[in-house]
Copies of this chain bind each other. A is one copy, B any other.
Amino acid sequence: MARGSTRPTSRDVARAAGVSQAAVSLVLGDKWRGRVSEATAARVRQAAQDLGYRPNLAARNLRLGQARTALLVVPALTNEFFAAVYEGAARIAAKHGFGVVLYPSPEGIGPAPDPFASARAALDGIIASSMASEALTEIRGDDLPLVMLDSDPADSLGAATVNLDITDGMHQITDHLLTLGHRRYLHLAADIDSWTFHVRARELATRVGQAADTEVRTAKTPITIEGALAAAENALNGPGPRPTAIVCDDDKLAVGAYKAARRLGLRIPNDLSVTGFDDLALATAIEPELTTVHLDAELFGERGMTALLAVLEGETPPEGNIPVELVVRGSTAPPRPS
C-alpha cells in the first residue's frame, strides 16, 4: 500500500507558511475572520496550494464525529431507474458537502462477509429504495437515521418515507384505457412481494372493477423480458375471450408483452393495447412507442436525500407524494369492435 511519499498534512502546510497547525485549520476551514490576518491567511492558502495539500478525510471525520456520507441501498443499479435515483440523491448530497455511497442490494454484491464490512464507510444515514426492511436491519447499525423510498408509509417503523404517487399513476392508466373502451384486461404483474406492486395490483383491480362488464386477469412473472413473454403468451392463449389490453407493472415487462403479441400475430395497438410503468429509455426505443407512466427518478432521489438531511438536522422531513404523469404514445388505441 506504499503511497510513494506520504501526503502532506496540515502540519506540513503550517511549517511551510511559518504558522501553527491550528492556524492552517482555521484558515482552510474558513473560520478565521478576526482570528488571523488577511496576509497570513493568504500565505497559508498559498502554501497549501503549493504542497498540493488535501485534508485527510478520515481524520476530519473522526474529529467531527460525522462522515458526511449517506448510504443508498438499491435493488440493482443496472436498472436505469435506480441509477437515476442515485444521481438525484448525489446531486443534493454534493450541495451539502455530503457523499453518497452505494449498496446495490444483498443480491448484487452478496451479504457483507463479516459484520464489519457492512459498515464499510462511516455513515450518517441510510436511504433505502424498494427494500424489505429485514435486509436493512443488518446494515443499519442500531439507530442510523433512515429514509425509505417506495415503501408502505403505514409500517415503516418510524422512518421517514418518500413515495411517488403510484396510486394516481395507476388511476391515470386505467382511466385512459377505460375511456378508450377496454373491458378485458390482462395484468402482467411483477412477481415480487413489494409495496409498490401491491398498490398497483390493488388500484388496477378496484378502479377497473368500478366500471361495468369488466374483467381483470393476472399473470405473474419475474421482471425479465423472457419471463414476461412467456407469461403474456400463456395468458393470451388462455380460455375465454382474449383481453384487449395488457397493463404491465413495468416497462421491461411491456417489452415481453410486445414479443408475445408478435408471436401470436397480434398488432399493437390495433389488436392489443399495452401500457408500461416507469418510462425508461426502452419505452421510446420499441415500436410502437410505449404508453407509460413517467416517473421522475432523479427527483425521487433528490427528495430522498432532502428528507435524510432534514432528519439529520432534527427537523421533520416534508410530506407529500411526488406526482407522476401518464405519457400517451403509440401502444394504446380503442379495442377492435368485436
Question: Which 9 A-B residue pairings sit nearest by Cβ, starting from the closest?
Answer: A58-B61, A57-B122, A99-B120, A58-B62, A77-B83, A78-B83, A255-B285, A52-B142, A54-B119
B121 touching A109, Cβ below 8 Å: no
Cα of A69 to Cα of B112 in the assembled complex, Å: 15
Cα of A104 to Cα of B100 in the assembled complex, Å: 11
Task: Please tell me which one of the listed residues B52, B141, B145, B284 contacts residue A54 in the complex, with CB atoms under 8 A apart.
Answer: B141
A1 touching B62, Cβ below 8 Å: no
Task: Please tell me which one of the listed residues B54, B80, B87, B99 contacts residue A101 in the complex, with CB atoms under 8 A apart.
Answer: B99
Residues of B within 8 A of A101 (CB): 99, 101, 121
Cα of A312 to Cα of B3 in the assembled complex, Å: 8
Cα of A119 to Cα of B52 in the assembled complex, Å: 12
Comparing A13-21, A90-98, A188-196, the segment that makes contact with chain B is A90-98
A211 contacts B by Cβ under 8 Å: no
A157 contacts B by Cβ under 8 Å: no
A212 contacts B by Cβ under 8 Å: no
Task: Please tell me which one of the listed residues B62, B78, B142 contacts residue A80 in the complex, with CB atoms under 8 A apart.
Answer: B78
A39 contacts B by Cβ under 8 Å: no
Cα of A262 to Cα of B330 in the assembled complex, Å: 15
Residues of B within 8 A of A3 (CB): 124, 143-145
Residues of B within 8 A of A94 (CB): 109-110, 112-113, 117
A56 touching B62, Cβ below 8 Å: yes
Q: Which residues of A contact B (CB under 8 A)?
A: 1-7, 28, 52, 54-59, 61-62, 65-69, 77-78, 80, 83-84, 86-87, 90-91, 94-95, 97, 99-102, 104, 108-110, 112-113, 115-117, 119-122, 124, 141-145, 225, 252, 255, 258-259, 262, 281-282, 284-287, 312-314
Q: Would you give the shortest CB distance from A107 to chain B, in whole angstroms?
A: 11
Task: Please tell me which one of the listed residues B1, B122, B284 contacts residue A66 in the complex, with CB atoms under 8 A apart.
Answer: B1
Task: Please tell me which one of the listed residues B28, B90, B262 contacts residue A287 in the complex, with CB atoms under 8 A apart.
Answer: B262
Residues of B within 8 A of A28 (CB): 116
A4 touching B121, Cβ below 8 Å: no
Residues of B within 8 A of A258 (CB): 287
Residues of B within 8 A of A97 (CB): 113, 117
Task: Please tell me which one of the listed residues B87, B110, B122 contacts residue A109 in the complex, with CB atoms under 8 A apart.
Answer: B87
Residues of B within 8 A of A62 (CB): 56, 58-59, 62
A-B contacts, 29 listed (Cβ < 8 Å): A1-B65, A1-B66, A4-B143, A7-B142, A28-B116, A56-B122, A57-B58, A57-B120, A58-B59, A69-B120, A77-B86, A78-B80, A78-B83, A80-B80, A83-B83, A86-B102, A90-B104, A90-B109, A94-B112, A97-B117, A101-B101, A102-B102, A121-B121, A225-B281, A225-B284, A252-B281, A282-B282, A285-B285, A286-B286
Residues of B within 8 A of A121 (CB): 57, 69, 99, 101, 121
